């Protein structure tokens, strides 16, 4: 599989689906199981940071972090594909909602949740 630097999300999803279909794994990839797998991979990502500072984790576990982050993204794309969700549209709409919840004049430099601003 060749690396398509600068590939669009749609192109990446196509690569992931081709990989899955070549192995006849679609039968295992229903929304529930994909969501579970996404959560498990996110936990594996977190495991790389356990008992370390952020700096230590990145220095000591960079390759593992990259692999687990890729797994999280792969399961995200597969779940979006199964649910017919356009990730670009979903992210754009979520950012629009967050702009309302976290206006710059109130949220800039603050870690407070929107209800506390």
Q: In this predicted model, which residue has the larger pLDDT, 4 or 16?
A: 16
d(CA 91, CA 64): 26
pTM of the complete model: 0.88
Residues 6+ apart with CB under 8 A from 66: none
Is residue 20 within 8 Å of 78, Cβ to Cβ?
Answer: yes
Cα separation, 115 vs 98, whole angstroms: 12
Q: What is the average pLDDT across 44-63? A: 98
Reported as a single tens digit per residue, the pLDDT across 69-115 is: 999 999 999 999 999 999 999 999 999 999 999 999 989 898 988 88
- Give the chain's mean pLDDT: 94
Residue 16, CA distances (Å) to 59, 69, 70, 97, 111 in order? 29, 15, 11, 29, 35
Select from 87, 77, 76, 92 the least CA-distant residue to 42: 76
- Percentage of the chain beyond pLDDT 90 is 84
* Block residue for tokens 């999300």: 9
- How far apart CA 16 and CA 18 sit, in angstroms, is 5
Name all domains of the chain by residue range, CATH numbers in brackets. Answer: 9-85 (1.10.287.1080), 86-117 (no CATH)
Query: Where does the pLDDT of residue 17 fall: very low under 50, low under 70, confident under 90, or very high at 90 and above?
Result: very high
Residue 3, pLDDT score? 62
């Amino acid at each position: 599989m060749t690396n398509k630097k600068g590939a669009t999300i749609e192109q990446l999803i196509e690569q992931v689906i081709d990989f899955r279909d070549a192995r006849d794994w679609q039968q295992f990839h229903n929304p529930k199981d994909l969501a579970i797998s996404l959560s498990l991979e996110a936990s594996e990502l977190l495991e790389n940071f356990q008992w370390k500072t952020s700096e230590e984790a990145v220095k000591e576990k960079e390759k593992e972090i990259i692999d687990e982050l890729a797994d999280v993204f792969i399961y995200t794309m597969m779940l979006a594909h199964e649910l017919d969700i356009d990730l670009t549209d979903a992210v754009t709409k979520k950012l629009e909602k967050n702009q309302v919840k976290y206006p710059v004049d109130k949220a800039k430099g603050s870690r407070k949740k929107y209800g506390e601003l």
